[in-house]
Amino acid sequence: MNINDEFVVTIEKLSNLGTGIARIDGQVVFVENACPEDEVKIKITKVNKNFANAKVIEIITPSPHRVKPFCPMHNVCGSCQLQFIDYNYQLALKKQMVEDAMRTIGNIDTPVNNPIPSPEIKKFRHKIQCPVSQTRVSKKILAGYYKPQSHEIVNIKYCPIQPEICDKVIDFIRNKTVEFNISGYNEQKRTGDLRHIVLRHSADNRELLVTLVINNNKITEKLSNFAKTIFETFEKVTGVCINFNSKNTNVILGEKTICVCGRDFIYEKILDKTFKIGASTFFQINPKSAENIFKYVKEEISKHEKASVLDAYAGIATFGIVVNDVAGKVVSVEENKESIEKAKEVLELNNIKNVELHCADTTKYLKSIKKKFDITILDPPRKGCTKEALDETLKHTKEKIIYVSCNPATLARDLKYLREKGCTVENIQPFDMFCHTYHIENVVVINL
């Protein structure tokens, strides 16, 4: 098998990264934009020792699960990898991904429940981060999303997975930059003014916070005037901030943000609690689907009368705040100081008295205490937990661990370790947070 060789194959299944899997003479081939049961002609684009990559050049017999993407930019934009697959079948494929990870990585045979669908499969994305660049000749500003596996920006004027107001604000910024003599960022040369547009939109009251990420360490007069123009033009824009990021990095937001006009947060509602979300606040991009997760965790905790709860890797203590009225005492631990400060404001806003906040690394905090909790909620980043963190969690938990994960692979790895320590996996419940992508959120109930 060589690069540019062509073959006719049938797609067997989907990989954990959303590519189709076929086999040629026993060798695995990962095929872009392919659906299980497709019969396709492919061209090999890369050959490795154990696998090859390919792209579809002709669909001979389409899978019965293929549909027409509702986004006209689907073929060039890298945001919605699975939009050409029927949504119900997307859920079935995501379930299979979780099952595969549990079996092959975790050696776990606990049945995986059917994923809870997203309440909305369009306009569900309420956090938008658009890279900005500028064409060399015409000096046209580009703002949108990257093409798959590249840093080439697709200039998107309409995105059906985000609220319409976001399209309008991005287009306004794109068209007005010339008037204010604001340039787009050149990633290779590290020149230009505007690097990213970051929007936080409230699913509850439709407010919008705009943050302009600039390649500078100070606010110029033109940027200040530009921010004020955005604020004055859109009634639903409650604030415009400037974030400074002049580092040579793929990290979107720099460490410092200044609110130029309005306020630096929006209000969001989850269940019956009100939250304040800033530009850099970690909060789920799909609030309606997140609400299903919080409801599920709350119901699990309510089975234990007034349980003491540890909310680890807490962010702005969303879990701790949501479950406080069915728990006895909640301790939320988060190492990011800004998140803890936001959490304090939210506790005061909701008049919550039984949530205690600690700004600390979870493992270090647990090592510093002797107390045990009835239930621990673990919501770590994609890399999962360290063995040390899991050991400390076991030492300080009496009854159950509720593990919330956005990465089936690291989740399966951690569950395997917990089982080796004597735990049992009671329930695995996927939630579709990121529609039309290969990502899937999971909540696992673990008995000690």
What confidence score (pLDDT) does residue 280 get? Answer: 84
> In terms of DSSP H, where are the helices of 189-317?
221-233, 287-302
pLDDT in tens, 51-87: 999 999 999 999 999 999 999 888 888 788 899 999 9
Comparing 117-126, 147-156, 170-179, 367-376, which segment has the lowest mean pLDDT? 147-156
Q: What mean pLDDT, rounded, does the chain reach?
A: 94
Structure tokens at 301: 């905790």
What confidence score (pLDDT) does residue 223 get? Answer: 93
Instruction: Tell me whether the CATH fold assigned to 92-119+286-447 matches the one assigned to 127-270.
Output: no
CA distance 182 to 191: 12
Per-residue confidence band for 188, with pLDDT thresholds at 50, 70 and 90? confident
CA distance 185 to 117: 38
Structure tokens at 266: 């929006």
- Looking at the predicted structure, is the pLDDT value of residue 368 above 80? yes
What confidence score (pLDDT) does residue 137 get? Answer: 83
Comparing 131-145, 224-238, 309-323, 391-405, which segment has the lowest mean pLDDT? 131-145
CA distance 23 to 14: 12
CA distance 223 to 79: 29
Per-residue confidence band for 138, with pLDDT thresholds at 50, 70 and 90? confident
- With b for 16 or more beta-carbon neighbours within 10 A and e for fewer, the 341-374 pattern comes to ebbeebbeebebeebebbbeebbebbeeeeeebb
Residue (of 443, 438, 413, 414) closest to 426 by Cα position: 443
**Chain Cα centroid distance, residue 264:** 21
CATH assignment of 92-119+286-447?
3.40.50.150
CATH assignment of 127-270?
2.40.50.1070
> How do 13-14 and 20-24 pair as beta strands?
antiparallel
- Domain 1-65: what homologous superfamily? Nucleic acid-binding proteins (2.40.50.140)
Per-residue confidence band for 147, with pLDDT thresholds at 50, 70 and 90? confident
pLDDT in tens, 280-334: 888 889 999 999 999 999 999 999 999 999 999 998 999 999 999 999 999 999 9
**Is the Cβ–Cβ distance between 166 and 207 less than 8 Å?**
no
Structure tokens at 300: 């699990």
Domain range annotation of the chain: 1-65, 92-119+286-447, 127-270
- Identity at 178, one-letter amino acid code: V
* Catalytic residue list: 406
Beta strands in 135-281 (DSSP E): 141-146, 153-155, 194-201, 208-214, 237-244, 256-262, 266-270, 273-277
What's the rounded mean pLDDT across residues 238-254? 93
